[in-house]
Structure 1
Amino acid sequence: MTVTNGEAPKPALYGVGDAKNASTANWVPVLSGSAMNPNVKNVQYAVRGPIVQKATKYDEMIKSGNGGDLPFGEVIKANIGDCQAMLQKPITFLRQVLSACLYPDLLDISPPVFPNDVIERAKEILGALPGGSLGSYSESTGHLYCRKIVKTFIETRDGYPADVNNVILSNGASEIIKLTLLTATFGVGKGRTGVMIPIPQYPLYSATISEIGAEKIDYYLDEEDKWSLSIDELAKSFKEAQDYCTPRVLCVINPGNPTGQVLKRENIDEIIKFAAEHQLVLMADEVYQDNVYDADSEFCSFKKALMELPQYKDRLELVSFHSMSKGFMGECGIRGGYAEFINFDSEVMTELKKLKSAQLCSAVSGQVALSIVLNPPKPGEESYELFMNERSAVLGTLKSKSVKVHDLFSRMPGMRVNPIMGAMYCFPRIELPQKAIDEAKEAGVAPDAFYVEKLLESTGICVVPGSGFGQLPDTYHFRTTILPPEDKIEAMLKKFEEFHVGFIEQYK
């Protein structure tokens, strides 16, 4: 088999009787690095990139007893917002109801193994599912019972009506974010859809934009003003992007990932006005809405703000996302999320739901789990007090750790950091010595990737370089979570400080 004119090789055809005699010596696979979807090769996802893979290798060495030569005894993965991997305890009420739904025989045990309100909730959920089983399919957009719970949650949170037909349940927020971006991408050349994303950003967005072949439009958050979102910067990015694409989508993450900022209400109103006046679909990623630690900050949903702007509330396409992976729930592995679509054309919704139906449905266990956390025990019910205590304990611990992490990095030489107002991350800026920058460039890696790899090799602490999220040119950052347990975070921060001081001394 030969390759001509740079074309991908074509597999030889054999008769059925000849197949077993065909030599494989010259066999060439249909797919290869040069013969595959180029969009896939453009996808980058730093949160699980090469440094994280190296950390995983170290972790496996230690667990198998082969880590004797490493200068540390454990790997601390502060690279991803996986709460329970960092030993956060699950919420009891959620796990009890979900257990009973997954194994209904538990409901008939005498004496009861669960509180009465758990038993009643499980029976209510099972009664709403086909065959009374989590093993049955749901509608492609999610079980009506679960979508009604989401509808009520949104109405209670915002004080405005929601339409259950505009709610789609998904395997976490990521899945429906990707489907929404896919639906919004069309056109060729300068008519191709441009998607405005914050820099720094969560790599899901840049990865998805690469995957679907849309155009990425960066707008920079203002690090000097607590990572605020400047309307002037939005306008500048929008205007520049018109030279090579047609901006159609504006993505906002609030509270922010990786920056941890919480947008003020006035800023949210300005963003809504900008999106409406520039005919942009506004995608609001609000998965960290429970994670607000700053005393002067408060979460406000884009839905609520839009409904309180009469001149815009009927002429802006808004889709907002929420998930049970973050907040006080931390149920990343169960995969439950939703999107609410507002002011979307009915034909677009039909096509979007068709896309979702091609996936059959999201995991029913995730749908049910989401319905449980969005409809917690009420005052007077048996599980209420324990639920509130657990919720307060998780959020209180996260707030305490956010202060410790910020305080440590703010006092380190050659490090600048904004307050952690919300979410689960800290995004410090490192003033790297020129010698370290030069050595990194000689090695062919980004300077902040060079720094965090040295950190991993010296301490076992795994964080993500800021270059994986985007940053202003010639600035260097890293993202760390605030999730390690309190008894470990103190030791982690001490090791981090020792490494950093030594690194600066070595390369100054």
Structure 2
Amino acid sequence: MHRAQIKLCNELREISPHVKNMKQLEYVVLARRVSQIKEELRQGVRKPYKEVIDVSWGDPHRAGLKPLTFVRQVLSTCLYPELMNSNRLPADVRQRAQRLLGGCAGGSVGSYTATEGIPEIVHSVSEFITRRDGGVPSDPENIYISPGSQWALTNILNVLVNREASTRTGVLTPMPCHSATTLGIMGLGGVVVPYYLSEEQGWELQVEDLHQALESAKGVCNPVALYVINPGNPSGQVQSRKSMQEVIRFVSERRLFLLADEVYQDCIYGENSEFVSYKKVLTEMGPPLSDTVELASFHSASKGFMGECGLRGGYVELVNLDPAVLKYIKTLFSTDSCAPVLGQLALDLMMNPPQPGDPSYPLYDMETQHIRTTLVHNAKRAVSVLNSLQGFCCQPVEGGAFAFPRVYLPPKAIQKAKEVGMQPDTFYCIRLLEEAGLLFSAGCEYGQKEGTHHIRYNTTDEIKRYSKYSINKYHIKTVFSSGQIPAWLKISGQIQKDIKSNCAL
């Protein structure tokens, strides 16, 4: 055997077993087929559609929402400071760029920053949190800016997961839940302890399900944290204040660290829904809870009106942590030097948008109102269309960026999927891709109760845009029109190859 091959084999054997246990995402098979279909379309292969429409990602700009003019003007000026001499840009744009560059070493976005972020921007985040929470104080010393909220969450989990303990560390995790978090827990050597949101109750988090999850963890792991997503991803629910109070009492009684993912806090659509942060509710509950419950809350510039996913700007605020622990968290964060500077600037612009009277305010207000109207309309329209389809049941989308409808598949279709080694909802997504050129995410990737099947749909995208491809046509006629296995369930050789490849990994 060649020496390079021997070395590679040794390296593979030395890979962390926790990383090896991370399963390949179902989306990989779908993405591979999308690339093949796009190439076939470029080569002129005839299909019932002219393009593939991807509604699986939670990327606002990818879905067609336009970047905010004020944000891009300020960022452009920071990248090319000569623009500050141009009268074509509003005065407040140039002033903001000058202030932001003043916080950068050497006046350049190309310089490193402090580990926790540019001090002026960290203070901006602190002031934003205080305003948002109705005056609840926020200490800048407890805030860390990061390359996205997921990066910050992974690092906090890295502190919580004890890989040297004889009993593995568990994290109570909602089902459904975006896959990055579950993979992150597994990659760190932790155990995902699932608690299932109540779909029939609009994906409500019920405390009795948390108790059941703890019971299921006995003899398996030592649960140390509870992870919540509000608004939900991909479930789209918004937690009530009462539900949050119950969760806080639960983590206090069970001595669990509370991880609150609040990145979709600006995306609220339900008429009776309101976002309230866990920190605010915790403070309102008063001592001893407000002084003892350990909390990490996360936010990001990737979601909401900003939608700047690619700039990588997020933050975590820590509450009630021991100063000795904070020291180690800072050390851990410093391993990546600092968050991308443009992401930090985007955070500042999100926290401090133009105000009435500013030159940029009229356009900013018009753009944000348009985005809000679009998101609310799309969410309501998506639920309406999905619920009009036979075999679909979609709970109301109160917030976030996704709908997570349940799909009722006939037993024969489920059996056919199992015969080829694939989850039924992944199999369904592949057929919808093949026949209609639509790419959805399979629900099995996010966690679901046994015997149920779902798909995840990004509500940022206007569902009318691809209604001409008729989900109705490819769902009802092929799945429910007869008891026979539809013709399209016969997979092509290439997909079969992809399925086997995926199952072998």
**Which amino acid in the other structure matches residue 38 of structure 2?**
D
Partner residue, 1:13? none
8 Å CA contact 1:190, 1:246 repeated in 2: no
Compute the TM-score of the two structures, normalised by the length of structure 1. Answer: 0.91
Rounded to whole Å, the distance in 1 between the matches of 2:438 and 2:52 is 6
Is 1:181 the counterpart of 2:167? The answer is no
8 Å CA contact 1:45, 1:204 repeated in 2: no
Partner residue, 1:170? 146
Indicate how the Cα distance of structure 1 residues 187 and 363 shifts in structure 2: closer, same or farther if over 3 A, else same. Answer: closer
**Greater mean alpha carbon deviation, residues 51-60 or residues 175-184:** 51-60
**Selected match of 1:435 from 404, 409, 412:** 412
Partner residue, 2:96? 121
Number of positions where the alignment pairs a residue of Structure 1 with one of Structure 2: 481
Indicate how the Cα distance of structure 1 residues 487 and 439 shifts in structure 2: closer, same or farther if over 3 A, else same. Answer: closer
8 Å CA contact 1:406, 1:417 repeated in 2: yes
8 Å CA contact 1:100, 1:119 repeated in 2: yes
**Which amino acid in the other structure matches residue 107 of structure 2?**
G
Equivalent residue of 1:140, what SS? coil
Percent of counterpart pairs with the same letter? Answer: 38
Is 1:402 the counterpart of 2:386? The answer is no
Is 1:237 the counterpart of 2:216? The answer is no
**Which amino acid in the other structure matches residue 315 of structure 2?**
Y
Partner residue, 1:151? 126
Return the offset for 1:132. 0.7
Equivalent residue of 2:267, what SS? coil
Return the offset for 1:456. 0.6
What is the correspondence of 1:7-86 to structure 2 with a 5 Å cutoff? 27-31=6-10, 34-44=13-23, 46=25, 48-62=27-41, 65-86=42-63
Partner residue, 1:101? 78
Return the offset for 1:69. 3.4
What is the correspondence of 1:107-506 to structure 2 with a 5 Å cutoff? 107-109=84-86, 112-158=87-133, 159-186=135-162, 191-311=167-287, 312-485=289-462, 488-491=465-468, 495-505=470-480
Rounded to whole Å, the distance in 1 between the matches of 2:334 and 2:116 is 7
Partner residue, 1:90? 67
Return the offset for 1:46. 3.5
Equivalent residue of 1:86, what SS? coil
8 Å CA contact 1:321, 1:339 repeated in 2: yes
Rounded to whole Å, the distance in 1 between the matches of 2:392 and 2:73 is 45
Return the offset for 1:370. 0.9
Indicate how the Cα distance of structure 1 residues 411 and 25 shifts in structure 2: closer, same or farther if over 3 A, else same. Answer: closer
Can you list the C-alpha shifts for 1:60-79, whole angstroms capped at 9, x where unaligned?
A: 443xx225233321111111
8 Å CA contact 2:236, 2:403 repeated in 1: yes
Rounded to whole Å, the distance in 2 between the matches of 1:384 and 1:419 is 33
Can you list the C-alpha shifts for 1:410-437, whole angstroms capped at 9, x where unaligned?
A: 1211111101111111111111101101
Rounded to whole Å, the distance in 1 between the matches of 2:404 and 2:31 is 17
Equivalent residue of 1:54, what SS? helix
Partner residue, 1:11? none
Can you list the C-alpha shifts for 1:232-289, whole angstroms capped at 9, x where unaligned?
A: 0001111221321111010000000011001111001111111111111100000000
Indicate how the Cα distance of structure 1 residues 189 and 89 shifts in structure 2: closer, same or farther if over 3 A, else same. Answer: same
Rounded to whole Å, the distance in 2 between the matches of 1:369 and 1:187 is 35
Rounded to whole Å, the distance in 1 between the matches of 2:24 and 2:361 is 40
**Greater mean alpha carbon deviation, residues 65-74 or residues 136-145:** 65-74
Indicate how the Cα distance of structure 1 residues 486 and 79 shifts in structure 2: closer, same or farther if over 3 A, else same. Answer: closer
8 Å CA contact 1:42, 1:211 repeated in 2: yes
Equivalent residue of 1:179, what SS? helix
8 Å CA contact 2:443, 2:455 repeated in 1: yes
Equivalent residue of 1:392, what SS? helix
Return the offset for 1:49. 2.4
8 Å CA contact 1:255, 1:288 repeated in 2: yes
Rounded to whole Å, the distance in 2 between the matches of 1:294 and 1:26 is 57
Return the offset for 1:344. 0.9
**Which amino acid in the other structure matches residue 55 of structure 1?**
V
Rounded to whole Å, the distance in 1 between the matches of 2:5 and 2:313 is 47
Indicate how the Cα distance of structure 1 residues 178 and 378 shifts in structure 2: closer, same or farther if over 3 A, else same. Answer: same
Indicate how the Cα distance of structure 1 residues 468 and 134 shifts in structure 2: closer, same or farther if over 3 A, else same. Answer: same
Compute the TM-score of the two structures, normalised by the length of structure 2. Answer: 0.92
Equivalent residue of 1:85, what SS? coil
Return the offset for 1:489. 4.5
Equivalent residue of 1:53, what SS? helix
Partner residue, 2:497? none
Equivalent residue of 2:296, what SS? strand
Indicate how the Cα distance of structure 1 residues 456 and 122 shifts in structure 2: closer, same or farther if over 3 A, else same. Answer: same
8 Å CA contact 2:382, 2:463 repeated in 1: no
Indicate how the Cα distance of structure 1 residues 26 and 237 shifts in structure 2: closer, same or farther if over 3 A, else same. Answer: closer
Rounded to whole Å, the distance in 2 between the matches of 1:187 and 1:30 is 25
Return the offset for 1:502. 2.0
Unaligned runs of 5+ in 2: 484-505
**Which amino acid in the other structure matches residue 480 of structure 2?**
E
Rounded to whole Å, the distance in 1 between the matches of 2:385 and 2:196 is 26
**Which amino acid in the other structure matches residue 113 of structure 2?**
S
Rounded to whole Å, the distance in 2 between the matches of 1:61 and 1:394 is 35
**Which amino acid in the other structure matches residue 109 of structure 2?**
L
Unaligned runs of 5+ in 1: 2-22
Equivalent residue of 1:395, what SS? helix
Rounded to whole Å, the distance in 1 between the matches of 2:163 and 2:218 is 13
